[in-house]
Amino acid sequence: MKALVYNEIKLFFSKKNVFLMLLAILSVLLIFQFYYVKLYKEYPSVKMEELQSEINNATVWYERYSNQLETLYNESPEHESISSLEFMADVWSVNLNNLNFLKILWENSHKNELKIQEVNQKLDNNLVRVFEQKIDVRGSNLYRTNERDWNKRMLLMKEYGKDEQLPEINPNRPDGFYIINQAINGESPFSLVFIFLFILLNYDIWSLDFENETIRLIFTLPFSKKRIYLTRFFSRFILSLCAVVLCLIVLFFLGNIQFGLGLDRYGIINEKAVQTFGFFETSGDMFFSSDKVVSMLGITMYTFTVFVAYIFLIYSLVQLVSYISKNQMISFLLPLTGLITLMTYLLLPRDTHNVGYNVFLYLQTQKLFDGSLGIGLLLALFILILSSLLMFAISMFTLMKREQ
pLDDT of residue 233: 92
Mean pLDDT of 292-306: 96
Q: Quickly state the pLDDT bin for 385 (edges 50, 70, 90).
A: very high
For the residues 327-355, what does the mean pLDDT come to? 63
Please give the average per-residue pLDDT across 184-203, as a whole number: 91
30-44, 158-172, 379-393, range with the lowest pLDDT = 158-172
Q: Which percentage of the chain shows pLDDT scores above 90?
A: 63
Q: Would the pLDDT of 404 be above 60?
A: no
Report the candidate in 252, 254, 293 with the shortest Cα–Cα distance to residue 274: 293
d(Cα 168, Cα 174) in Å, to the nearest integer?
Answer: 11
80 pLDDT above the threshold of 90 = no
pLDDT at 12: 92
Position 345 confidence tier, pLDDT thresholds 50, 70, 90: low
Q: Comparing 119-133, 140-154, 184-198, 270-284, which segment has the lowest mean pLDDT?
A: 270-284
Above pLDDT 70, what percent of the chain? 89
Burial of 36 from C-beta contacts in 10 A (0-12 / 13-18 / 19+): buried
CB-CB contact of 182 with 299 (8 Å): no
At 213, the pLDDT band (50, 70, 90 cuts) reads low
Residue with the bigger pLDDT between 373 and 18: it is 18
For residue 315, the model assigns a pLDDT of: 93
Mean pLDDT of the chain: 88
- C-beta pairs of 219-227 under 8 Å, 24+ apart in sequence: 221/4, 223/1, 223/4, 225/399, 225/403, 226/396, 226/399, 226/400, 226/403, 227/1, 227/4
Average pLDDT over residues 318-340: 76
Mean pLDDT of 214-223: 56
Whether 227 shows a pLDDT value over 90: the answer reads no
Mean pLDDT of 155-167: 88
Q: Give 209's pLDDT tier (boundaries 50, 70, 90).
A: low
Strand partners, 270: 291
Task: Decide if pLDDT at 194 tops 90.
Answer: yes
Mean pLDDT within 169-178: 96
Residue 74 has pLDDT above 70, yes or no: yes
Q: What's this model's pTM, rounded to 2 decimal places?
A: 0.90
Contact between 257 and 271 (Cβ < 8 Å)? no
The contacts of residue 231 (CB under 8 Å, 6+ apart) are 1, 4, 5, 8, 223
pLDDT of residue 333: 75
Range name among 87-101, 260-274, 335-349, 372-386 with the lowest pLDDT average: 335-349
Residue 181's pLDDT is: 95
* Strand, helix or coil for residue 83: helix
pLDDT at position 349: 46
Phi and psi angles of residue 139, each rounded to the nearest 5 degrees, phi first? 90, -10
Residue 214 clears pLDDT 60, i.e. is over it:
no
pLDDT recorded at residue 374: 86
Looking at per-residue pLDDT, the higher value among 199 and 52 belongs to 52
Question: Which ranges of 326-376 would DSSP assign to H, the alpha helix?
Answer: 328-347, 365-370
Binned at pLDDT 50, 70 and 90, residue 398 comes out as: confident
Q: Which residues pair with 75 in a beta bridge?
A: none
pLDDT at 56: 98
Rounded Cα distance between 150 and 128, Å, is 10
Return the pLDDT at 352.
45
Q: Coil, strand, or helix at residue 267? A: strand
